[in-house]
Structure 1
């Protein structure tokens, strides 16, 4: 989309003002990037043809019930941790993460076979949606700092704090039963080999945002830190009203006094930024280790800060008819996001003998300051008029996570793992302001050429504000006991407990004015229109639009136990079998906050238990070839945000969502087969086929509410998914006498995933959607349509050149994802499709010396193809764009120095 600064300027309602797993954790000296030069050279040298069979790496895994497999020792040129595990896994080592050049673990995981990154760092496994992916940190539950999603946005985890990651796509009973697409287990760094201090910084350029026109509002003077200075605290009158239990609808509340305190220029006066600043970031990490008697204690700490600006010049449309021949909403909207992320990690590791204790503490704060201005039309209510919409918002998302893991070996053949954790997630969105101004364009209207806001509920303008607050506590604990009966037979039993409690509150208020409001007053910009003198002088009032369901409590308590047996039947045949029992109570309860209670039916009470078996057979055909076959039964529970009948705005997708309290659990049957051929150390070819049957899958659908598109959720009757994966990794050495080429080699990594899914819907299948008049599944789903979030084709290719003696890497990264459904269409309209397309990136890492100190320079170029973001509906020749904008190309440079 071409740059149109003039158009952006015209959007301003107010005066424009310029705004001044398998890890190498024990052998990795942490740095701003995950691999320091010393280890990089060691790893590269070790993988050369000259590497001896005595070469040995200690690989440490921290997963529940890892037994004796989480201390894998890899020996020799052909050993490979992916090969030595009993399940179908993908391993992303420090070296793999570094090669991608990604500053966060989400980007690096996006290069793993079958994984795709959607939105701001949400990693999906095999294209399956949000609810089918599970993230663990050191084997313990990892809640999302965005509580309105299940998938953890892994771009909040800088690679400096992650030693490695393990992606397991076949289910084994030591993992939680909510296992759909797979599990991602991140292992944090623990005991460093030597004391280190690393300082890093970076700067980035976005072709669509940097030095281009964008929007902002003042907010508070401390917004750049990611923390509000108190300016957005609830006004005293509103706070007293919320605590009083009174209802506005009963007429006893002085709403003018409330309304007079809500609006001010610093929160609603949108300002232009003629030349937006570049993106920038900084990081610091340090670690040390020392002996305490026979034990070794390690301490590692890291902190990071990033500040990014992104402006999207979007086209957003909806259709009024099933064949898309007529548009309902047709807007061009410019959105500027200022995202500030602050993160820190403090970890302690204690090693004594063959025992290890790990205490990990993570803090993440992800704040988003957003300003949106749009201009467009609404066909049904005002076909000849022009509408101008303005939105300002501030979203605070925060995660505090602490966990302790003890991996003990009381006897040579006995292993005991104990885990405990606590996490708190919060989301606060104070002052979500929305204004709509109306221009009639009528020659007979004396004000027809001007935008006015009569505050009459959208007929000729509107104004609203929302306040939301969410708090969630998660307690978890588990114990796993493994005993090696013989050198080839190991049994494991375990217990896991989790208790999650959430309270979510949202209060929505609409400003209304009497018909006597003078048109001259309606011309005022938002902060002047709703100043106290206007509110008092012209009897502007407030309506509470969410009195029915303003507050909910939600809870999920889960007890689980399992037994698992790992046995080598022969030298070539091994089996891993087990069964897991889970019982869980999940509830959503409306909270009575008014003195006169409401009669809400928007509650949920699920009480289910399951037996979940799993088995994997591995057969080795020679030294280099092996086959695996896995079958399992798993579940997927509805998330709280999918159950709570409360509207919320997702700034990532720029749309509203509302839960459905009538959702039920999904049950999955999974089968997977895999052939693996190992060419050499870290070199392999693998082929995988998989099949899943999902009963009652939860799908997203779109609907209209007050001329606004709202996405919600419903259980489809059944879905089937099948596909195949192909992966290869190979190194090529140069046979050259040239000093430049002698120590260099080419690395080629490629993976391809084909996935096909379809929903099965019969004419008489029922569906349960709260507050819907229809109970027919065919009104929400079409037989044969694919699951939401699933791409038929995923391709990732890495082609790089690297030096085996010094840190020097140049990598070209290609990725492709085919079309995928993001939501079912409203009112029998076609599904909403996203077209991710092709992306081409280039990353260079180069070791340099600055004043005799080793440093790493990294240069990145992203989205070189300039691929657009496209989300649309299509029927014949008719196409409606839900979201269309230029993503832009980004270029960044960073430097890290390790002392």
Structure 2
């Protein structure tokens, strides 16, 4: 159970923030006289007051519903505008939820769920079948081992709308499973604003409770390393080729700051501070706008877990650990957007920065484990996962009467650095009543790993649409082209501490705590070494295991070229349909530095048709039917034969180069009854 206490929340609204033009006093026009109603005349249902919803998505036309005649006053305009199964939260809807971020607001949409730290899934289908777009362009995750982005980084004050489309249409990428979430940032704010907020949260399972921490660096509380975890030059130079590093080199690694786990009986409270602002003004015939937001948060979570493993058909346990781990998550986010509106045209330039760090300390103990000698074993981990996303995108939406052109381009860079992933395993010596680690590998070991991942994503899209004027009912044809190019390099270097002769280090050094065990004195003199060669001197060395459990390095690429054509219109009165086809070709490959762990290549092209029909058969009631074919490609991490640690599940995973693309057939039927303003009843089946 968590209790959240508001620490500070301040909304500043002042005439100082308003353009001078907006201060001019204009007399309200005199309302026209209203003729008396004829009691013998029945009034037709009128449309409720509409909301101007700002949506920036591929091929989306917010004006498409204006010429559509529907039965009922309560069907929202955005639902009128497309036959697809969509849910849209306007800025007004988002404000009414009272949530501070868009992830919380989306939980009010049926079929949406938030998992972990702000990851939003559609239809509950998980990370593999959900995707996110920002202003219609791909939004990569700051965690390159996932597909989705944590949406709790977007404050509601800068979001113009959140569109959730649960049925596939060919103007979206072919990798479509449960649905897609498209966030639209404000291009030009309707009015200037400045909002400052903060929170202090108490977690009854963690705050002021028992947990584990370790020192790290001076700015760990802000999520940035100050050099304590820099990878030594000798590892960068020889990590892929050198089998053993000598004692003098092993002694250069940062020690106590990354090895000594401390017990903390009063884990701090969680806090967060954020600021968002927006301003708009006129320059000639152009309306210009600026939005900006920044936030910084620090939170703790302690978990008490039972971790069991079995490789026996009868279910006999191979290991049975009781583990306590404390996660310290620090996030720093920023967004700056510039927008311009002139006539029916709109341009926006959006820049996003996300820095998400997880600092983890972990202790686990067991009497059932590999190489069990019936003695209790104690295992310790310290981890630092630093992830960063920099994304910039330019969008232009131009409308020339019945002809519309949308242009999008974006670049994103994601990084994931995990230096000094340290692991220690001690065995309890019942004779001496103390834990021992002789580094012999039999329940007694010490390892360290360094991993780095860097990925660049370029994407571009052009969408053209034309409303055919020769038909009595509105018919729109559209076509588009999409291109993306993702390039990734990932390196993981694993090392084990052993004595120079691969034996056991003697006591008393083997009974020392981790920072003393790997101190300079222990590394150089814990055991006698008769060599007279200076470079060979010392007791403890660093043995390279990087290619033993997978490829130490891999390069990956995914290039996609796609084109589509689509037609949308009213077939007969009350029946609308959208039908189209997309051809998408993807070339994906993974290459490794290992002769044992090979990569793979997937080169496939697909025709992906989709059709949706909506029948407005009664007042405020609709039936929808949908069918489509989509795909799901394996992610780089799923294909690459490299070990990686998922800090959420606290488990190690390994990719499988034998995976291939999945082909999906999707069908859905839905009944909708809009029985009141902002009220609906829905019954649906999805296959």
* Aligned: 1:662 with 2:665: no
* Aligned: 1:428 with 2:417: yes
* Aligned: 1:317 with 2:308: yes
Equivalence for 1:222: 219
Alignment of 1:203-218 (within 5 A): 203-218=200-215
Q: Provide the TM-score with structure 1 as the length reference.
A: 0.67
CA contact (8 A) 2:166 2:178 kept: yes
Equivalence for 1:154: 151
**1:573 Cα offset (Å):** 1.1
**1:438 Cα offset (Å):** 0.3
* Aligned: 1:647 with 2:669: no
**1:684 Cα offset (Å):** 1.1
Equivalence for 1:437: 426
Alignment of 1:375-774 (within 5 A): 375-379=365-369, 381-409=371-399, 411-441=400-430, 446-447=431-432, 449-457=433-441, 459-486=442-469, 488-513=474-499, 514-537=502-525, 538=527, 539-547=539-547, 549-591=551-593, 598-691=594-687
**1:235 Cα offset (Å):** 2.0
Alignment of 1:348-387 (within 5 A): 348-379=338-369, 381-387=371-377
Following the alignment from structure 2 to structure 1, what is the Cα–Cα distance between the partners of residues 277 and 318? Answer: 56
* Aligned: 1:60 with 2:54: yes
Query: Which is further off, 88-97 or 145-154?
Result: 88-97
**1:90 Cα offset (Å):** 1.8
Following the alignment from structure 2 to structure 1, what is the Cα–Cα distance between the partners of residues 250 and 66? Answer: 64
CA contact (8 A) 2:336 2:351 kept: yes
Instruction: Render the CA deviation track for 1:187-212: whole Å, top value 9, x for unaligned.
Output: 11221122221111111000011111
CA contact (8 A) 1:161 1:345 kept: no
**1:110 Cα offset (Å):** 3.2
Instruction: Render the CA deviation track for 1:69-98: whole Å, top value 9, x for unaligned.
Output: 578799995241453121011223345444
**1:379 Cα offset (Å):** 4.4
**1:181 Cα offset (Å):** 1.0
Instruction: Render the CA deviation track for 1:472-522: whole Å, top value 9, x for unaligned.
Output: 000000000000003511000000000000000000001113435213211
Secondary structure of 1:180's aligned partner: coil
CA contact (8 A) 1:61 1:71 kept: no
Following the alignment from structure 1 to structure 2, what is the Cα–Cα distance between the partners of residues 257 and 70? Answer: 71
Q: Provide the TM-score with structure 2 as the length reference.
A: 0.87
Equivalence for 1:247: 242
CA contact (8 A) 1:299 1:346 kept: yes
- Seen in structure 2, the aligned counterparts of structure 1 residues 202 and 142 have a Cα distance that, compared at 3 Å, is same
Following the alignment from structure 2 to structure 1, what is the Cα–Cα distance between the partners of residues 410 and 547? Answer: 36
Following the alignment from structure 1 to structure 2, what is the Cα–Cα distance between the partners of residues 90 and 477? Answer: 26
Following the alignment from structure 1 to structure 2, what is the Cα–Cα distance between the partners of residues 143 and 161? Answer: 19
**1:613 Cα offset (Å):** 0.4
Query: Which is further off, 576-585 or 79-88?
Result: 79-88
Following the alignment from structure 2 to structure 1, what is the Cα–Cα distance between the partners of residues 655 and 311? Answer: 24
Instruction: Render the CA deviation track for 1:659-709: whole Å, top value 9, x for unaligned.
Output: 001110000111111111111221111111121xxxxxxxxxxxxxxxxxx
Following the alignment from structure 2 to structure 1, what is the Cα–Cα distance between the partners of residues 52 and 465? Answer: 20
Secondary structure of 1:522's aligned partner: helix
* Aligned: 1:137 with 2:130: no
**1:164 Cα offset (Å):** 2.3
Following the alignment from structure 2 to structure 1, what is the Cα–Cα distance between the partners of residues 608 and 254? Answer: 54
- Seen in structure 2, the aligned counterparts of structure 1 residues 275 and 222 have a Cα distance that, compared at 3 Å, is same
Following the alignment from structure 1 to structure 2, what is the Cα–Cα distance between the partners of residues 73 and 415? Answer: 17
Equivalence for 2:533: none
- Seen in structure 2, the aligned counterparts of structure 1 residues 516 and 365 have a Cα distance that, compared at 3 Å, is closer
CA contact (8 A) 2:497 2:543 kept: yes
- Seen in structure 2, the aligned counterparts of structure 1 residues 379 and 507 have a Cα distance that, compared at 3 Å, is closer
Q: How many residues align?
A: 624
Secondary structure of 1:519's aligned partner: coil
- Seen in structure 2, the aligned counterparts of structure 1 residues 663 and 460 have a Cα distance that, compared at 3 Å, is closer
Following the alignment from structure 1 to structure 2, what is the Cα–Cα distance between the partners of residues 399 and 190? Answer: 22
CA contact (8 A) 1:58 1:71 kept: no
Following the alignment from structure 1 to structure 2, what is the Cα–Cα distance between the partners of residues 389 and 622? Answer: 66
Query: Which is further off, 524-533 or 642-651?
Result: 524-533
Structure 1 segments, 4+ long, off by >4 Å, are 51-54, 68-77, 98-101
Secondary structure of 1:357's aligned partner: strand
Secondary structure of 1:237's aligned partner: helix
Instruction: Render the CA deviation track for 1:254-300: whole Å, top value 9, x for unaligned.
Output: 43233111241111111122212111111111111010111100001
Following the alignment from structure 2 to structure 1, what is the Cα–Cα distance between the partners of residues 158 and 446? Answer: 44
Equivalence for 2:279: 288
Following the alignment from structure 2 to structure 1, what is the Cα–Cα distance between the partners of residues 49 and 443? Answer: 76
Secondary structure of 2:508's aligned partner: helix
Following the alignment from structure 1 to structure 2, what is the Cα–Cα distance between the partners of residues 379 and 532? Answer: 31
Equivalence for 1:345: 335
Following the alignment from structure 2 to structure 1, what is the Cα–Cα distance between the partners of residues 271 and 436? Answer: 40
- Seen in structure 2, the aligned counterparts of structure 1 residues 438 and 567 have a Cα distance that, compared at 3 Å, is same
Secondary structure of 2:376's aligned partner: strand
- Seen in structure 2, the aligned counterparts of structure 1 residues 58 and 110 have a Cα distance that, compared at 3 Å, is closer
Following the alignment from structure 2 to structure 1, what is the Cα–Cα distance between the partners of residues 618 and 225? Answer: 62
- Seen in structure 2, the aligned counterparts of structure 1 residues 526 and 263 have a Cα distance that, compared at 3 Å, is farther
- Seen in structure 2, the aligned counterparts of structure 1 residues 180 and 657 have a Cα distance that, compared at 3 Å, is same
Following the alignment from structure 2 to structure 1, what is the Cα–Cα distance between the partners of residues 155 and 312? Answer: 46
Instruction: Render the CA deviation track for 1:823-843: whole Å, top value 9, x for unaligned.
Output: xxxxxxxxxxxxxxxxxxxxx
Following the alignment from structure 2 to structure 1, what is the Cα–Cα distance between the partners of residues 252 and 66? Answer: 63
- Seen in structure 2, the aligned counterparts of structure 1 residues 541 and 516 have a Cα distance that, compared at 3 Å, is same
Q: What runs of 5+ residues in structure 1 fail to find an aligned partner?
A: 2-28, 32-50, 592-597, 692-899
**1:384 Cα offset (Å):** 1.7
Secondary structure of 2:247's aligned partner: helix
- Seen in structure 2, the aligned counterparts of structure 1 residues 141 and 336 have a Cα distance that, compared at 3 Å, is same
**1:382 Cα offset (Å):** 1.6
Equivalent position to 2:299, from 302, 308, 311: 308
Instruction: Render the CA deviation track for 1:101-155: whole Å, top value 9, x for unaligned.
Output: 4433223323422222233222222222322111111110010000011122223
Q: What runs of 5+ residues in structure 2 fail to find an aligned partner?
A: 2-14, 18-44, 528-538
Query: Which is further off, 95-104 or 139-148?
Result: 95-104
Query: Which is further off, 326-335 or 377-386?
Result: 377-386
Following the alignment from structure 2 to structure 1, what is the Cα–Cα distance between the partners of residues 606 and 415? Answer: 31
CA contact (8 A) 1:348 1:359 kept: yes
Secondary structure of 1:107's aligned partner: helix
Following the alignment from structure 1 to structure 2, what is the Cα–Cα distance between the partners of residues 426 and 69? Answer: 40
Following the alignment from structure 1 to structure 2, what is the Cα–Cα distance between the partners of residues 657 and 52? Answer: 58
- Seen in structure 2, the aligned counterparts of structure 1 residues 187 and 73 have a Cα distance that, compared at 3 Å, is farther
- Seen in structure 2, the aligned counterparts of structure 1 residues 54 and 378 have a Cα distance that, compared at 3 Å, is closer
- Seen in structure 2, the aligned counterparts of structure 1 residues 451 and 73 have a Cα distance that, compared at 3 Å, is farther
Following the alignment from structure 1 to structure 2, what is the Cα–Cα distance between the partners of residues 398 and 688? Answer: 39
Secondary structure of 2:476's aligned partner: strand
Equivalence for 2:27: none
Secondary structure of 1:170's aligned partner: coil
Equivalence for 2:7: none
